[in-house]
């Protein structure tokens, strides 16, 4: 158990819908990262927050957005969902910006 908690574990929804994925980082970790992993694909970096502020943006679609709240938990919002958005979405956290990142168990999103 990495200490990073993601909910829900599984999510099935229809095209065009909107969903919110939630991440609680390890206690004391200020950095949160979101990654997308499609079937048999590598981890694609989406976005990073540090202590509530956006710090880096990767290949994140405009239909996707995220935020980190004062209690440091983070949410990833996915809207106007398409079939191609079906993937595992991982959240990771780290103490600072140099230390290793620890991953949550992921949310498996299936868009039908």
Partner 1 sequence: GQNIDQPTEMTATEGAIVQINCTYQTSGFNGLFWYQQHAGEAPTFLSYNVLDGLEEKGRFSSFLSRSKGYSYLLLKELQMKDSASYLCAVRDNAGNMLTFGGGTRLMVKP
Q: Would you count residue 95 as binding partner 1 (CB under 8 A)? A: no
Q: Would you count residue 84 as binding partner 1 (CB under 8 A)? A: no
Burial per residue of 44-79, b for 16 or more beta-carbon CB atoms within 10 angstroms, e otherwise:
ebbbbbbeeeeeeeeebeeebebebeeebbbbbebe
CB of 25 to partner 1, least distance (A): 14
Binding pattern to partner 1, positions 15-44, x when CB under 8 A?
A: ------------------x-x-----xxx-
Nearer to partner 1, 43 or 79 (CB): 43
Helix (H, G, I), strand (E, B) or coil at 84: helix
């Amino acid at each position: 158990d990495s200490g990073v908690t993601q909910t829900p574990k599984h999510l099935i929804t229809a095209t065009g819908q909107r969903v919110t994925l939630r991440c609680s980082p390890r206690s004391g970790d200020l950095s949160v990262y979101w990654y997308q992993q499609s079937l048999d694909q590598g981890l694609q970096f989406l976005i990073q927050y540090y202590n509530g502020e956006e710090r880096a943006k990767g290949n994140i679609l405009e239909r996707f957005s995220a935020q980190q709240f004062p209690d440091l938990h983070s949410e990833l919002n996915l809207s106007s969902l398409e079939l191609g958005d079906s993937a595992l979405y991982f959240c990771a956290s780290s103490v600072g910006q140099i230390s290793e990142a620890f991953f949550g168990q992921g949310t498996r999103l299936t868009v039908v």
